[in-house]
Structure 1
Amino acid sequence: MSANSALVKFKMVNGLIGSILEENRVSFRTLFPKLPQIDTEVRSKIEKLLDSRERIKGEIDGDDDFEDFTDDLNLANYFLACRKFSESLRYYESALVKNPQSYSALCNKGLCLFKLSKLDEALTCYDEALTTYKNIPEAFFMKGKIMFAKQNFSEAIKQFQNILELESENLDAKFYLGKSQIKIGNIQDGVSTLESIIANNDHGDSLLLLGQTFTKQNESQKALIYLNKLAEISPNHVEAHLLLGKTYVEINNFNDAIAHFEKVLNKTPNNIEARILLGKTHMDINNTNEAMSNFDKILEISPNHKEALNYKIELLEKNGKLDEAIECCDHLVDSTSEPREQLLKKGILLFNNNKTADALTIFNGVLGKTKTNNIALIYKARIFAQKQEFQEALLCIENILKSEPDNMEALENAAELSLKVGNYENGLSYTNQLLSKSSSTSILERKSHLLSILGRHEEAGQIAMKIIQTNKNNPNAFYELGKTHLILNNFEKAIDSFEKALSMNPLDSNIILKKSMAFFSQQKYEDAILCLEQIPENDDRYYYAQYQKSKIQMIQGNTKQAMEILSKVIKTNKTFKEIASNEVIFESISNMFEFKELIK
């Protein structure tokens, strides 16, 4: 074939391509506000012509560019429709060399650059187009979308308003205007704009955005109106059904929520988000088997799905299937390159199920790699506290406070543990730190208690009085005030405070014992005994109360009754042997055979 003949055929093929694109509205004349579509059959025809074109091109002598502006623009538009953006860009640039003032080439090149995320270059193309032709709605629209993508919503609003001045019923411009108004926080104007669209159009995107907006505003009933309308006009709209389900969950309408999640799954059975939401909803209403079934289906699709595994662990633990829960934890650990979070979950699971030794091993392992993991430290502290190793527990908490000195939970634990280990000054210091952040009654009560232990009784009493002034129904405050009066030998005031505490907590054995001590200190022994007899045998303080009764009987000269009571106490609780052997009140009978036998 001669070069001239090849060139004629080459032009003919380009013409055929142009004709097909013209028929499908993708020709050089078309200006795109969004990506054009091209069906498979048309694409197949053009691909065959492009193959022929390349063969013919090889038969033409020379390296000249035989394609004119129209050919370049047709091919650029075709590749744009095929989402081959780099190829498309090459032809747009070639076209613009031949016709730099072509606003359609500039605008379509801008769309291509936008899809390649080259926003500033795209903006330049639209600006150049608008310097030549001042009123191009598509250019204003894409400038608005670029500004939206750059989160410059104020400028985006201006561009969409420019379009509406030219085309007042442009739905895409109206929609993006409403979307931008909502993004900038002008909810009322955004909603009005979107409602103006749906007043005369079944516009799915506007209905969805209105539903999303009112959901975020916690106006569930308004959201449901728009979302149900969207589901009515578009029954298979996945996002609509997902959001409807979530909204129904928010208002505790679980049956409707389940129905919408199931509609999604009927259409797309492998939709993991719908499965998660459906499983979680069944969990919320204690449909354990249904919930587990959904999480298992997710794990069939995605065996290492973290959220599904976590929910499955929660269900297994709730149903007492500890071994299976731990197996899931191990799966999580094995499927993660940095499994610290999963190891912590396993440790917490073991702790919650009283496997403290195994839990401690896990937490020590985590801390071996990162010494400042506060979750591991707090659980280690809890394990040591359970074992009554309070000093070790306190060391863990103090390590937390080194990295988080304002951690309220850690300060609370440090104050409590300092009290248990007898470091009252430290306990007071931690309590004061807590009070600098919160003046809660429980913290004030602890401070009063610590001051009392430290012998600062007047300060302790003042705090108790401060609590009572705020709340006259606080038994703990009256108890602490009573203890202060007892220590300061204000026995009548102590009794009065204890009685007020007992009017609110009549069975509190600690208060009863302190009241009996106030009577004892006044030598009102019968009243003291009456108090002690109120403490039932199943109370932890019962034997201490009985021991006190034996002392009173001894003071009253009732040695036989004192010995009978003391004998029962010591036989039941051997710790009272040493207490009795050092008790001054029992010195007068220390040489009695019965007493010696009892305490030996």
Structure 2
Amino acid sequence: MSASSALVKFKMVNGLIGSILDENNISLKSLFPKLPPIDTETRSKIEKLLESRERIKMEMDEDNFDDFADDLNLANYFLASRKFIDSLRYYDSAWVKNPQSYSALCNKGLCLYKLSRLDDALDCYNKALNTYKNIPEAFFMKGKIFFAKQNFVEAINQFYSVLKLEPEHIEAKYYLGKSLLKSENIEDAKSILDSIIAKHDHIDSLLMLGQIFTNENNYQKAMSYLDKLLELSPNHIDAHLLMGKSYVSIGNIGKAISHFENILSTSPNHIEAHLLLGRTHMDIDNTNEAISHFEKILEISPNHIDALNSKIVLLEKLDKIDEAVECCDHLASSLTDPTEQILKKGILLFNGNRYGEALANFNEILEKSQTNSVALLYKSKIFEQKREFQEALLCIDTILKSNPKNIDALESGAQLSLKVGNYENALSYIEQILSQSPLSDPLLETKSRLLSLLGRYEESGQICLEILQHDKTNVQTLYELGKIHMILHNYEKAINFFDGALGKKPLDSKIIFEKSIAFFAQQKYDLSILCLEQISDSDPLYDFAQYQKSKIHMIQGNIKQSLEILSRVIKSNSAFKFIASNEILFENVKDTFLFEQIITTN
């Protein structure tokens, strides 16, 4: 074949390629804000022509035979075929031949955008706009580039520039809505997206509105958009996911399950749908259904962290500790840093009362990280279970040296200090918690009780009064104030506070007993007995109440009645034999035959 005839054939092939691309809307004049579609048949035709083109090219003598149009057509074809490197080579060649071509610059920009070369892509669009001021596609792609760079303010400016030129540019409006949402202009985003769906069935806008209202916990509003979306696209996976999550949130589990199952009907291996179904079934105690979904995920992805963790939670709930531990081991073996799973395994063993094995796990972690607060906290709990309180406190001290504000450690330190009788330390821990937490009645009650134990009654009472200022019906606080006034010998005030507590808990034997003691201290013995008689014989305080009645009758000179009651009490609880033997009130009758008989025969 002669060089001239080869050149003719070469141009003819290029012409055919150009014609096919024109027919498929991939012409050299097109500007692409997104990748143009190209079907398999078209691609097959062009690939055959490209093979012919290469063969003809080898028979040609001339090196400079390509023209601008041919280069741009091939660049556009390779862009549609996602062969971005080849596409970029032809765009560069085309641009050299025609530096004024804004289509070459814009489409090259899209190619660079797809290659994540955002700054180079931006440079292409800026050059195009320097030559031609009003190119909507260039402003649109600049907006997408700034969006990808998370410069949402500049992205918004670019999308507004598009809308000045083309007010009904749907994609520009949609991306403007996305950008406004990212910049937390949520109401403006809603307005823009609503303006789209008012005129168009735009699925992405409907989905985004559904997401916005779901995030705001306005599930009914969210579902109104998602329902419309599903009318347009019945198998839209993201819409079904959101609908399912919304129904879970409002407690309509049946409909939630229906939406998740709809996804699996078209996409049987959809992992998130299986995970959500598993967790939903687990929440309603459908354990067999739940476990089947977690296991399906693990068939697809054997080391899926969320599925394994959910399965561990379910197995623990079913008290299958060994299987849960096995899952932890499996997951730990697949992770480069298995610390979290070793901790989880230790906690499982601890909750299963397997303290020795749990301690080994926590020690394994502490060998690598001596200040791991979770491991130290659980190690402290293990020592507490073994009643090795000082060892437990050493673990707490280690946590607080590296993290003085660790609330869990401070709370455990306070409880442990109470158990060993170190009330000053316990008070210090409580005050540290209160310094960094909102005031809470339980914490203030604990502080009040500690102050009382330390003999600081006035401070304790002051805290109780502060609690009552915002909760006048706090029974525990009224009771504590009663006890404080008892200690301070303010018996009338004590009785008033006990009455306040009994107004809310009229059958509380502990409060009734303390009230009887207040009357006893005032020598109001009949009133004291009336209180004691309210304590039933099934109550743990019954024997103490009867013993107190025995003392009152002794004071009143009812010796026989006193000793009869005492005899019954000692028969019920032999500990009162020792108490009575050392009771001053019984001093005058200790040498009597009747008292001796009670003490020796019971």
Q: TM-score range by the shorter chain?
A: 0.7 to 0.9
Which residue does 1:568 correspond to in 2? 571
Structure 1 gap ranges (5+): none
Which residue does 1:500 correspond to in 2? 500
Q: 1:226 deviation in Å?
A: 1.8
Q: 1:468 deviation in Å?
A: 3.5
Q: 1:200 deviation in Å?
A: 3.0
- Check 1:598–1:77 CA distance in 2 against 1; reply closer, same or farther (3 A cut): farther
Asked whether the equivalents of residues 547 and 565 of structure 1 are also in contact (C-alpha less than 8 Å), the reply is no
Which residue does 2:475 correspond to in 1? 475
- Check 1:458–1:136 CA distance in 2 against 1; reply closer, same or farther (3 A cut): closer
Q: Within 1, Cα distance between the matches of 2:23 and 2:312?
A: 59
Which residue does 2:212 correspond to in 1? 213
Q: 1:147 deviation in Å?
A: 1.9
Q: 1:274 deviation in Å?
A: 1.4
For residues 510-529 of structure 1, the aligned pairs below 5 Å read: 510-522=510-522
Which residue does 1:54 correspond to in 2? 54
- Check 1:418–1:536 CA distance in 2 against 1; reply closer, same or farther (3 A cut): farther
TM-score by length of 1: 0.88
Q: Within 2, Cα distance between the matches of 1:464 and 1:170?
A: 67
Q: Within 1, Cα distance between the matches of 2:110 and 2:78?
A: 12
Q: Within 2, Cα distance between the matches of 1:202 and 1:3?
A: 56
Q: Within 2, Cα distance between the matches of 1:269 and 1:535?
A: 65
Read off the aligned partner of 2:515 and give its amino acid letter.
K
1:137-185 Cα deviation digits (max 9, x unpaired): 2212211211222223333233223333333333222322333333333
Read off the aligned partner of 1:36 and give its amino acid letter.
P
- Check 1:477–1:248 CA distance in 2 against 1; reply closer, same or farther (3 A cut): closer
Which residue does 2:226 correspond to in 1? 227
Asked whether the equivalents of residues 175 and 206 of structure 1 are also in contact (C-alpha less than 8 Å), the reply is yes
Corresponding residue pairs, total: 595
Corresponding residue SS for 1:405 = coil
Q: Within 2, Cα distance between the matches of 1:183 and 1:292?
A: 37
Q: 1:405 deviation in Å?
A: 2.7
- Check 1:387–1:549 CA distance in 2 against 1; reply closer, same or farther (3 A cut): farther
- Check 1:33–1:570 CA distance in 2 against 1; reply closer, same or farther (3 A cut): closer
Asked whether the equivalents of residues 31 and 103 of structure 2 are also in contact (C-alpha less than 8 Å), the reply is yes
Q: Within 2, Cα distance between the matches of 1:541 and 1:180?
A: 69
* Greater CA drift, 513-522 or 15-24: 513-522
Answering whether residue 271 of structure 2 is matched by residue 272 of structure 1, we say yes
1:1-31 Cα deviation digits (max 9, x unpaired): 5555544444443333333323323232322
* Greater CA drift, 557-566 or 52-61: 557-566
Which residue does 1:113 correspond to in 2? 112
Read off the aligned partner of 1:340 and give its amino acid letter.
T
1:541-584 Cα deviation digits (max 9, x unpaired): 4555566567667776669658735743664x5xx787677766
Corresponding residue SS for 1:337 = coil
Which residue does 1:183 correspond to in 2? 182
- Check 1:585–1:366 CA distance in 2 against 1; reply closer, same or farther (3 A cut): farther
Asked whether the equivalents of residues 33 and 141 of structure 1 are also in contact (C-alpha less than 8 Å), the reply is yes
Corresponding residue SS for 1:25 = coil
1:179-218 Cα deviation digits (max 9, x unpaired): 3333333334333333333333222222222222222233
Q: Within 1, Cα distance between the matches of 2:112 and 2:335?
A: 38
Question: What is the RMSD of the two structures over their aligned residues, measured on CA atoms?
Answer: 3.3
* Greater CA drift, 102-111 or 1-10: 1-10
Read off the aligned partner of 2:125 and give its amino acid letter.
Y
1:368-406 Cα deviation digits (max 9, x unpaired): 322333333333333444444433333333333333333
Corresponding residue SS for 2:319 = coil
Which residue does 2:239 correspond to in 1? 240
For residues 158-197 of structure 1, the aligned pairs below 5 Å read: 158-197=157-196
Which residue does 2:284 correspond to in 1? 285
Q: Within 1, Cα distance between the matches of 2:507 and 2:355?
A: 34
Q: 1:233 deviation in Å?
A: 1.4
Which residue does 1:353 correspond to in 2? 352
Which residue does 1:420 correspond to in 2? 419
Structure 2 gap ranges (5+): none
For residues 6-405 of structure 1, the aligned pairs below 5 Å read: 6-61=6-61, 64-405=63-404
- Check 1:175–1:444 CA distance in 2 against 1; reply closer, same or farther (3 A cut): closer
Read off the aligned partner of 1:313 and give its amino acid letter.
I
Q: Within 2, Cα distance between the matches of 1:598 and 1:512?
A: 32
Q: 1:117 deviation in Å?
A: 1.2
Asked whether the equivalents of residues 479 and 498 of structure 1 are also in contact (C-alpha less than 8 Å), the reply is yes
Read off the aligned partner of 1:198 and give its amino acid letter.
I
- Check 1:486–1:221 CA distance in 2 against 1; reply closer, same or farther (3 A cut): closer
Q: 1:533 deviation in Å?
A: 5.4
Read off the aligned partner of 1:54 and give its amino acid letter.
E
Q: Within 1, Cα distance between the matches of 2:448 and 2:467?
A: 10
Q: Within 1, Cα distance between the matches of 2:546 and 2:364?
A: 49
Q: Within 2, Cα distance between the matches of 1:464 and 1:198?
A: 59
Q: 1:527 deviation in Å?
A: 5.5
Q: Within 1, Cα distance between the matches of 2:568 and 2:445?
A: 35
Which residue does 2:450 correspond to in 1? 450
Q: 1:246 deviation in Å?
A: 1.9
- Check 1:587–1:61 CA distance in 2 against 1; reply closer, same or farther (3 A cut): farther
Q: Within 1, Cα distance between the matches of 2:327 and 2:601?
A: 58
Q: Within 2, Cα distance between the matches of 1:254 and 1:531?
A: 53
Asked whether the equivalents of residues 553 and 562 of structure 1 are also in contact (C-alpha less than 8 Å), the reply is no
1:63-106 Cα deviation digits (max 9, x unpaired): x3432222221221111111111221111112211211111111
1:316-360 Cα deviation digits (max 9, x unpaired): 333333333333333322332322222222233333333344333
Q: Within 2, Cα distance between the matches of 1:543 and 1:366?
A: 51
* Greater CA drift, 531-540 or 139-148: 531-540
TM-score by length of 2: 0.88
Asked whether the equivalents of residues 276 and 294 of structure 1 are also in contact (C-alpha less than 8 Å), the reply is yes
- Check 1:444–1:199 CA distance in 2 against 1; reply closer, same or farther (3 A cut): closer
- Check 1:192–1:457 CA distance in 2 against 1; reply closer, same or farther (3 A cut): closer
Q: 1:478 deviation in Å?
A: 2.6
Report % sequence identity: 64
Read off the aligned partner of 1:38 and give its amino acid letter.
I
1:482-504 Cα deviation digits (max 9, x unpaired): 22222223334334433433343
Q: Within 2, Cα distance between the matches of 1:89 and 1:32?
A: 14
Q: Within 1, Cα distance between the matches of 2:313 and 2:396?
A: 27
- Check 1:540–1:385 CA distance in 2 against 1; reply closer, same or farther (3 A cut): farther
- Check 1:168–1:438 CA distance in 2 against 1; reply closer, same or farther (3 A cut): closer
Q: Within 1, Cα distance between the matches of 2:587 and 2:342?
A: 60
* Greater CA drift, 48-57 or 202-211: 48-57
